[in-house]
Amino acid sequence: MKEKDFDNIVRKKLEAINEAPPAYMWDRVASGMAAQSGVNTTSGLSATKKILLVAASIVFIVGLVAIFSNQNRTSKRHVSRPFKKSWHKKQLIKSHKRAYKHKVEPVASKSNLENPNTSFTHTPKNKQTINSPSKTATTTPIKNIVGVKTSKKQNAMVNNQKDEFPPLPSATEIRKAESVTSASANNQPTSNTKKEAKNFGTSYELAVVPPTPLSNSKTPKANTEKKQTATPYVKDVSSETQNTSTENKSIATSESTTEINQDTSTSVKQVEVIAGELPNDLAKTPNTEQETSQQQNPKSRIFNKYGIGIHYGPEFMDIDNYKLTDQALDLSFNYQNMNLIIQTGLGVRFSEDQATYDIKYKRWEYWKTQIRFDSASLYVDSNGDTIFQPANVYYEEIYDSLSHSYQATAKEHYTILQIPILLGYQIDYDKFAIFIKGGIRYSLIAYQQNDDLFIPDENSRITDYNYPIKTRAKSNIDYELALGGAYKINKHFQIQAEAFGRFYHYSIYEENPPSGIHPWSLSIRAGLIYIF
């Protein structure tokens, strides 16, 4: 039989084999595909997508931090704005309204014309008195005081006040106003008003609080008298602007502006100067309040703390009564805003797992001893007797490559990268802090190595080995909750110790179909934090 014929027969017989692979093979292929592409069939997300997800989360956290920071700065700016909802704003509006109300009194119209600054002194201390119908009944509607009514928007008020100034007065009116101003400048504060002034701490109060309670003046006439009594002092404040606070200026400005709207005989020069100073003064005014507020209430200060830390600790994992102990080293980035803490970072975890291999190997070794026929001698006697000499034989040891198999247990070493994102709440004391935080952690096997499988000797070689039944999933997500405390060594350094409880979203082994066993773990870690 020729070789080709033999080959053809064998080929036909082998090709005729039409056997389907085992039914479970598709599952193996599918799980292998998942492992190959980094997809955990139980997760539904590729490794790339997961990395992107984590990156997006980090960006989100950083964005959140940035927003917080901006909000803090914004809140400071808000405080510095006039007419924000604050005590100062209310006072300004109140005093503005009061000035407006008093100015429109008929008696005041004349007296104010003679001394426009008298309106400053009519801010009553008693709110009820001010708001009583008897005082406001005589108020003439003033259309031009838009700023008072729409004072919710401070800039609008200022602009409206500027825009709605009456037309320039005539030369006669200007002269008259100048003469009045000149006359007022010569007035001196009374001893009574000086005494009152000493009782107030700030120049702002000097400006807005009258020297005598308005409740003492029962009639418009008496009120006018009080105003006139206080006029010299107020005038003094107004004229010596270098000695007065910005608050004083702003109040005087607002009220003077209002007065001008009522009586066009007021000095235009003064109005222009005031209008020009108004925005800056208003902007400066509340800083004092902010500082005062912070001094009075230090808890309202805003914390923006950034820190970097390094932590180390073991993680004890329980997988359906199978125990694993990992060691983790984490680099953390921390942000604290008041009691809110945000933590992320990059960690590396070292894990070990036992794996059993079915190993087949061949060893070149003694197989058997056989008798080898070497030679035989035949002696023939010339006498006719035949003498037979036995053959020469020797024993030969036969060596062969013999198959063996055994089960070997080897350690698989995994190096796992992990990225946590944690949100928490921290309570700070003088030297200590306690905190609780929770979040998610994404982990990815970065490196895998197994101990060298046992090879009996140099005459042996492994011909086949089966991979362990269980292989680790390439990636996983776990949810974690931590409780811990920190000891503040100094302004910059803290020692932290914390205990974590973790629940893994997926099995740490590749399973198809998933077994539904989710490992959990407990870990403790300690670290050093540096606060910037």
Partner 1 sequence: MKRTDKELRALCIKGDGNAQNELYRRYAPKLWGVCLRYAKNRMSAEDILQEGFIRIFTYLEKYKGDGSFEGWMRRTMVNTAINYYKKNLKTGLDMEYTEVFAAKSYEPDAISQISNEEVLALVQELPDGYRNVFNLYVMEGYSHKDIGKKMNISENTSKSQLSRARSLLQEKIHKLYGE
Question: Residue 422 class from Cβ within 10 Å (0-12 exposed, 13-18 middle, 19+ buried)?
Answer: buried
Distance CA 237, CA 247 (A): 12
CB of 35 to partner 1, least distance (A): 9
Site track for partner 1 across 35-64, x = CB under 8 A: -xx---------------------------
Six-digit token pair at 383?
A: 């006498």
Min. distance of Cβ 359 from partner 1 in angstroms? 10
**Interacting span for partner 1 (CB under 8 A) from 14-22, 63-71, 285-293, 431-439:** 14-22
């934090």: which residue's tokens? 529
Q: Which is nearer to partner 1, 303 or 366 (CB)?
A: 366
Q: Does 378 bind partner 1 (CB under 8 A)?
A: no
Q: Is 18 near partner 1 (CB under 8 A)? A: yes
> Minimal distance in Å, beta carbon 415 to partner 1?
23
Range 389-418, binding partner 1 (CB under 8 A): 399-401
Q: Which amino acid is at 136?
A: T
SS3 state at 260: helix
- Measuring CA to CA, which residue among 120, 89, 88 is closest to residue 102? 120
What letter would DSSP give residue 74? Answer: H
According to the binding rule CB under 8 A, does residue 457 interact with partner 1? no
Question: What token pair was written down for 255?
Answer: 């009220």
Element (H, E) at 522: strand 520-531
Instruction: Count CA atoms within 13 Å of residue 360 on its CB side.
Output: 7
Residue of 15, 320, 381, 397 that binds partner 1 (CB under 8 A): 15
CB of 460 to partner 1, least distance (A): 10
Indicate the residue among 323 and 368 with the shorter CB distance to partner 1: 368
Let me know if 493 is exposed, middle or buried by CB neighbors in 10 A (0-12, 13-18, 19+). Answer: middle
22: alpha, beta or left, given left = phi > 0 and alpha = psi -120 to 50? beta
Structure tokens at 93: 């509006």
CB of 525 to partner 1, least distance (A): 39
Q: Name the segment binding partner 1 (CB under 8 A); options: 19-27, 128-136, 201-209, 220-228.
A: 19-27
Q: Which stretch binds partner 1 (CB under 8 A): 145-153, 300-308, 463-471, 509-517?
A: 463-471
**Cβ 27 to partner 1, closest distance in Å?**
10
Find the binding residues for partner 1 in span 306-325 (CB under 8 A).
none
Contact pick of 200, 333, 465, 520 for partner 1 (by CB under 8 A): 465
Helix, strand, or coil (residue 119): helix
Q: Cβ of 520: how many Cβ atoms within 10 Å?
A: 14
* 469 contacts partner 1 (rule: CB under 8 A): no
Q: Report the DSSP beta bridge partners of residue 293.
A: none
In contact, 530 and 493? CB cutoff 8 Å = yes
List helix spans (H) across 186-267.
Answer: 191-198, 203-208, 220-239, 246-262
Question: Can you count the helices (H) and strands (E) in the chain?
Answer: 15, 11
Task: Please report whether residue 183 would count as binding partner 1 according to CB under 8 A.
Answer: no
Q: Which stretch binds partner 1 (CB under 8 A): 26-34, 102-110, 333-341, 411-419?
A: 26-34
> Closer CB to partner 1, residue 26 or residue 447?
26
Task: Note if the bond before 169 is cis, omega within 30 degrees.
Answer: no
Residue 374 found at the interface with partner 1 (CB under 8 A) = no
- Please report whether residue 19 would count as binding partner 1 according to CB under 8 A: yes
Decide if residue 20 touches partner 1 (CB under 8 A).
yes
Minimum distance of partner 1 from residue 36's CB (angstroms): 5
447 near partner 1, rule: CB under 8 A: no
Residue 336, classed as helix, strand or coil, is strand
29 binds partner 1 (CB under 8 A): yes
Looking at the Cβ atoms of 21 and 390, the one nearer to partner 1 is 21
Alpha-carbon span 60 to 439, nearest angstrom: 14
Residues that bind partner 1 (CB under 8 A): 1, 3, 5-7, 9-11, 13-22, 25-26, 28-30, 32-33, 36-37, 362, 364, 399-401, 461-466
